[in-house]
């Protein structure tokens, strides 16, 4: 937290690297995974695994040039109102 008090340009290169947002996200992800592991909770939410599986299946079908069924999952939040997004 002390690094946040200093301007980025005045930090030495090794310290400036610690302020990189990508590194901060990576460290936060590892800390969260460790906490979940200690609590006996899966590191990744089931819905996230399902979304990755669907993306993989779509990519595979596209690479094999197969027709894909149109499956509207309601994930297009740009066309929804705030009430629609909450399922109310």
The model's pLDDT over 40-60, given as tens digits with 9 standing for 90+, comes to 888 777 888 888 898 898 888
Residue pair 62/68 in contact (Cβ under 8 Å)? The answer is: yes
In this prediction the pTM is 0.44
Q: Around 21, how many Cα atoms within 13 Å sit in the side-chain half-sphere?
A: 0
Written as six digits, the tokens of 60 are 């595979």
Q: How far out from the chain centre does Cα 67 lie?
A: 28
Letter string b/e over residues 37-68, b meaning 16 or more CB atoms within 10 A of that residue's CB: eeeeeeeeeeeeeeeeeeeeeeeeeeeeeeee
Model pLDDT, residue 77: 58
């Amino acid at each position: 937290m002390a690094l946040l008090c200093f301007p980025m340009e005045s930090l030495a290169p090794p310290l400036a690297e610690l302020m990189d947002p990508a590194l901060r996200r990576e460290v936060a992800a590892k800390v969260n995974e460790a906490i979940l592991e200690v609590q006996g909770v899966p590191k990744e939410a089931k819905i996230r695994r399902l979304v990755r599986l669907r993306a993989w299946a779509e990519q595979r079908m596209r690479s094999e040039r197969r027709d894909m069924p149109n499956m509207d999952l309601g994930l297009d939040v740009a066309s929804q109102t705030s009430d629609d997004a909450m399922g109310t």
